Amino acid sequence: MRQIGHFIDGKAAAGGSGRSGDVFNPNTGEVQAKVAFASKAEVERAIASAEAAQPAWAATNPQRRARVLLRFLELAQKEANELAQLLSSEHGKTIADSKGDIQRGLEVVEFACGIPHLLKGEFSESAGPGIDLFSLRQPLGVVAGITPFNFPAMIPMWKFAPALACGNAFVLKPSERDPSVPMRLAELLIEAGLPAGVLNVVNGDKEAVDALLTDARVKAIGFVGSSAIAEYIYTTGCAHGKRVQCFGGAKNHMVVMPDADMDQAVDALIGAGYGSGGERCMAVSVAVPVGKKTADVLMDKLIPRVESLKIGPSTDTQADYGPLVTKMHLDKVRTYVDLGIKEGAKLRVDGRNFKLQGYENGFFMGGCLFDDVQPHMRIYKEEIFGPVLSVVRAEDYEEALRLPSEHEYGNGVAIFTRDGDTARDFTSRVNVGMVGVNFAIPVPLAYYTFGGWKRSGFGDLNQHGPDAVRFYTKTKTVTSRWPSGRKEGADFVIPTMK
């Protein structure tokens, strides 16, 4: 049985707590590895390693730090196929989807390679008589990231790439469900020239998380996961004086207007709703057709498409999506479908009992499609995180606009229409953080910022883009004067520009 430990001070470290968790092969249901759960002492050792390495790394000029990331980028791209296979074997998403996971992470690494420009401060000559003003961006010190199972390559890179580029040392606590890719990324960073201790990886559960949250040496924490845990990490981290950036759950809507290209809208719903088995924070889980005719046409087109979804093992190049990550999560998603039926929603396609020949013990589930879902139902209110699409019929545009705007989550939303006025009004008025127009998964590119509103996001600064540089640095402002002669006497009046 493969044993997965930690990565501390530039090398693999066996777990010493005596506690561990199972890492499954979702295709077969078999346990393929054991991952060690770090004790508080092991987390403290990783933090100490980061603290010792950080000053020298911060003193390394930004261009040289960028060169390490460029070399890492090259190594990761060369190993992309192997990384994708490793990722799929623990998560269950298809190889093609895993490659997308890795690529979206590497795009943030590419962005972070521009750190010499991004760290430039401001300068004002002669802001006062003989006085110059300038600002500096300096690293925070030791920072940490707690990342989810659904993007085991992308989210760690979204966190550590800008943090390292800014001169911080980083402690990563990845998901214990699929820890192997983050461990391999740490090895590649060392191979790329990152000094030992600048990036450490500790695997574990709440004990490891709490150790990071309460240790005074950790100056900032980034998190992606459920809203309940995001709120816990945000409040606990802030209470311990840390800068905290947390991203939680989602219930992403896609509004379909009567004038939309219906075939395009259906293609978008199928891909965004069922890709990766719905295990994406940006998955579309609610379709909102406007008007009865639109809803009827949409359902007529959706039903056969959902029924014909090809579900297969993650290695199947023809599969639309693979298994869910664990049996526990599969059972949770099935329970939500049961609940939806009890609540009165119409289950038009039922994928609960899907079995794949030869993989009967795998964590597979067919696509499910609900119609006539109402806003009071739990299947509408709560994040399901599985291959379940709910159709909520809206009588008119204003009702369709209200649904995502009034939902407690505000991560992503999309509208499909051919009318520019409608699209412009929607993007302006909808109370959601990321908006797509005829684009179902509006994840911004790396040089823009990613983040949701309401209970989808806790904290003032978002992921990647300029916000990442702001989050991982502190601004120092210097007021400088070099007088040619000494002025006699003290000045007891506060300086002004009068």
Question: What's 392's domain CATH number?
Answer: 3.40.309.10
**Is the residue at 356 inside a domain?**
yes
Looking at the structure, do residues 266 and 191 belong to the same domain, yes or no?
no
Q: Minimum mean pLDDT among 42-46, 199-203, 216-220, 456-460: which range?
A: 456-460
Q: Is 171 a member of any domain?
A: yes
pTM, to two decimals: 0.95
Per-residue pLDDT band at 348 (split at 50, 70, 90): very high
| One domain for residues 240 and 267 | no
Q: Are residues 233 and 282 in the same domain?
A: no
In this structure, the answer to whether residues 298 and 389 fall within a common structural domain is yes
Task: Name the nearest CA neighbour of 179 among 361, 39, 2.
Answer: 2
In a domain, 450, yes or no: no
Q: 481 Cβ partners below 8 Å, 6+ apart?
A: 128, 130, 131, 132
Q: What is the largest CA-CA distance in the chain?
A: 92
Q: Side chain identity at 350, as an amino acid letter? A: D
- pLDDT tens digits for 163-206? 999 999 999 999 999 999 999 999 999 999 999 999 999 999 99
CB contact set of 367 (below 8 Å; sequence gap of 6+): 274, 306, 307, 309, 311, 349, 351, 387, 388, 389
* Coil/strand/helix, residue 285: strand
pLDDT at 491: 77
Of 466, 405, 409, which is closest to residue 137 (Cα–Cα)? Answer: 466
Q: Is the pLDDT of residue 487 over 70?
A: no
- The full DSSP string for 169-218 is EEEEE--TTS-HHHHHHHHHHHHTTPPTTSEEE---SHHHHHHHHH-TTE
**What is the pLDDT averaged over residues 345-352?**
98
> What is the per-residue pLDDT across 61-82, written as a single tens digit (0 to 9) for each?
999 999 999 999 999 999 999 9
Alpha carbon separation from 385 to 17, 303, 355 (Å, rounded): 32, 20, 20
Pairing between β-strand 409-410 and β-strand 388-391 as defined by DSSP bridges: unpaired
Q: Work out the average pLDDT over 29-41.
A: 98
pLDDT in tens, 13-31: 999 999 999 999 999 999 9
Sign of CA dihedral 259, 262, 264, 268: positive
Q: Which residue in the list 166, 246, 281, 368 is annotated as catalytic? A: 281
The answer on pLDDT for 268 being more than 90 is: yes
- Type of residue numbered 136: L
| Nearest partner of 216 among 47, 462, 97, judged by Cα | 47
One domain, residues 230 and 131: yes
Give pLDDT, residue 165: 98
Indicate if 274 and 206 belong to the same structural domain: no
Measure the CA–CA gap between 445 and 162, rounded to whole angstroms.
14
In this structure, what is the dihedral angle of CA atoms 95, 96, 97, 103, given to the nearest 10 degrees? 110
59/136 same-domain check = yes
Residues with Cβ < 8 Å from 472, sequence gap 6 or more?
139, 140, 143, 162, 163, 166, 168, 220
For 142, the domain range is 2-248+456-478
Please provide the distance, in angstroms rounded to a whole number, between the alpha carbons at the two ends of the chain.
74
pLDDT at 5 (0 to 100): 98
Q: Which DSSP helix (H) or strand (E) runs through 43?
A: helix 40-59
Q: What is the rounded average pLDDT for all residues in the chain?
A: 96
For residue 22, what is the domain's CATH number?
3.40.605.10
For residues 329-352, average pLDDT? 98
275 membership: H or E segment, kind and range: none
How many CA atoms does the CB half-sphere of 133 hold within 13 Å? 8
Helix or strand (DSSP H, E) at 435: strand 434-437
- 141 band by pLDDT with thresholds 50, 70 and 90: very high
Residue 106 lies in a domain: yes
The count of structural domains within the chain is 2
Q: What is the pLDDT of residues 297-326, one digit of tens each?
A: 999 999 999 999 999 999 999 999 999 999
Tens digit of each residue's pLDDT (9 = 90 or more) over 100-119: 999 999 999 999 999 999 99
Task: Please check the confidence at residue 472 and state whether its pLDDT lies above 70.
Answer: yes
What digits encode the pLDDT tens for the residues 414-443?
999 999 999 999 999 999 999 999 999 999
Type and span of the H or E element at 144: strand 142-146
Residue with tokens 């760690």: 156
DSSP secondary-structure letter at 98?
Answer: H
Lowest mean pLDDT among 121-135, 147-161, 174-188, 298-312: 121-135
Say whether both 304 and 210 belong to one domain.
Answer: no
pLDDT in tens, 383-400: 999 999 999 999 999 999
460 lies in some domain: yes
Active site residue 281: yes
What per-residue string of b and e applies to 275-293 under the rule 16 or more CB within 10 Å gives b? bbbbbbbbbbbbbbbbbee
Residue 480: pLDDT band with limits 50, 70, 90? very high
User: Per-residue pLDDT for 482 more than 90?
Assistant: no
pLDDT at 128: 84
User: What is the sign of the dihedral through the CA atoms of 369, 289, 414 and 429?
Assistant: negative
What does the pLDDT average to over 358-365?
96
Question: Quick one: pLDDT band at residue 486, thresholds 50, 70, 90?
Answer: low
The predicted pLDDT at position 489 comes to 76
Is the CB of residue 218 less than 8 Å from the CB of residue 142? yes
Q: Give me the count of residues in the chain.
A: 498
Whether 88 and 219 map to the same domain: the answer is yes
Q: Examine residue 319 and state whether it is found in any structural domain, yes or no.
A: yes
Return the percentage of the chain with pLDDT > 70, whole number.
99
170, 227: one domain: yes
Q: Are residues 433 and 415 in the same domain?
A: yes
Residue 445 has pLDDT above 80, yes or no: yes
DSSP H/E element including 479 = strand 473-481
Q: In this structure, is residue 448 part of a structural domain?
A: no
Q: Is residue 488 part of a domain?
A: no
Burial class (CB in 10 A: 0-12, 13-18, 19+), 376: exposed
Q: Are 165 and 62 in contact (CB under 8 A)?
A: yes
H-helix or E-strand spanning residue 76: helix 62-78
DSSP state of 472: T
The verdict on 215 and 178 lying in the same domain is yes
